[in-house]
Chains A and B, each alone.
Chain A
Amino acid sequence: MSAAAQNSGGGTVLELERVTIRFGGLTAVSEVDLAVGEGELVGLIGPNGAGKTTVFNLVTGVYQPTEGRISFDRKPHGRLRPHDLTRRGIARTFQNIRLFGSMSVFDNVRVAMQLHRRFGFGEALWRGRLAAKAEGDVAGRVMELLEIFNLGRVRDELATSLPYGDQRRLEIVRALATRPRLLLLDEPAAGMNPTEKAALAQLIVEVQQRFGISVLLVEHDMRLVMSVCQRIAVLEYGRKIAEGTPQQIQKNPQVIAAYLGKEASDA
């Protein structure tokens, strides 16, 4: 039925059914159908203002759709709030970096692990042996994640003092710390140089395989999107105008007219 179910062995993780959201008179997302399968890496592209970030905000519960339905693991979102959905297994990064500015690199990741702790408040106060062990485990896992992204050496730096590219990667680490099953990346390569971009592409695939998660990727860098995604959906003015494999999308005349053509002439 859905493209996701065909493409991957597992079931559908995320499903949007005719999702629409209007802000006053503006229809930012219009009747979009989209599915992400288990372990799948899906791209979401389109010109500026097409509604990509809005789709992320809908999937993470920041906005409620005006019409249509979103479900995760076959369970409808309903009116769940963002932190509930994170608990269910949806994590994200932000297009305009939103790291915790008063905290170190280490703490930015550490705080994203609190949602799986059961006795947070009591442990924090009593600080018994169990609490010490739990905090030790958390610290270990934080460092493990940071090392994968080569950020262990800056663990004590203020997160916002890092170079731009590192901040973007730190956002991915922080999202992974919530132990997601679906990771939404909003322009993770923005502001990176070509070397960093190439490394990031590799990292995204590595992370996706290592953690066995699904990824929905919004990115303007076409080489990156084409190289890592198994499937790509294209938005324009809030509508999905095409969906298919990277090869299909590259050849799609509608997509070339709306987006890729313009990119090519820009370059």
Chain B
Amino acid sequence: MKDRSIHILNFVGLGFFEPAIRLASGEEVKKNLIVLFKKVLLPILSVGLFLIVWHSGATYLYTIEKDARIEKALNDRGEAAALEMKTCVESGDISCQPNTLPSPSQVWGAYKSLLMDHRVIAQKKAAFAEKVAATNAQREAQGLVAIKYTGRPSFVDQILTSLKTVFAGFLLAFFIAVPIGIMLGLSPTLRSSVNWLIQIFKPVSPVVWLLLVFMIVKTLTKNSDSDSSFIISFISVGLCSMWATLVNTSMGVSSVDKDYINVAKVLQLNVGQKVFKIILPSSFPLIFTGLRITLSVAWMVLIAIELLAQSPGLGSFVWEEFQNGANDSNSKIIVAMFVIGIIGFLLDRIMLTIQKFVTFTEETA
């Protein structure tokens, strides 16, 4: 049981729990304590150090901003106003808080308020759904479109939208890059003939892709009322991120070990079998590395693209908060930053786990 759970943990990339489990079962106490210290305590310490640096930095910036405010009040409206401003700031009243890098505790507060906000909105939604259930059933029977909730999306809704977009973009990249990569890998002629195009398109920035996709999709969806901002952003994400997979796939396919090709020849496999039974399996590790890069690039450019395309999601959440300039906007932006980072990390872990499942590892000898 114990070994099994350790195995599973290692497999999904949570191997740092291993010493804790071994310790709990009283195994080689001293050695495991050291490992635990290295693998768990040191990371926690570094996070703590980071929080301290952040906190003192934020306090420092806060003081600068605060002094500037009081000084401004003094210069503009005299001593009484300055004093008033000082008491106001120190009382912690929201109306006169200095606007700067938020401290960790402020960010934590913003996180909680975002969650609260989500609960409220979820409740509203549920209530709305209940209210229109009967009407919607009727409309459906008449062949009309159901009435949808059109209120403000919560933070969690934004996250889900972003995930949906990145997933759609990733799938698009997958279905474009893998087949084309295989074809390029199989045919040196094809590879050299499109090599220039690939080299030129690969470094193009996400912003340009977005504009390009915008030009095309805008024209194509002229006569339909579908949600073009989602289409634009997921296609842009796919186009930006697919290059790693394309290049890796074609490289993997074109560099299959000569020994395996000889096996295919001696077994007299036909072309299809050769591709599916020899070439693809042997290039799986490289293809998957490409897909992992693609997914992380997709997640990274998604935020920028949503921000520009005004399509709902974390990117536009950040942009709106930035423009909004409310008191806790800065804190909310930092919350979004952490959420983006953590989700990116989790996505990579998921890909890594899938990769371990479906690909062979080269012999370690």
Q: Do A and B come from one complex?
A: no
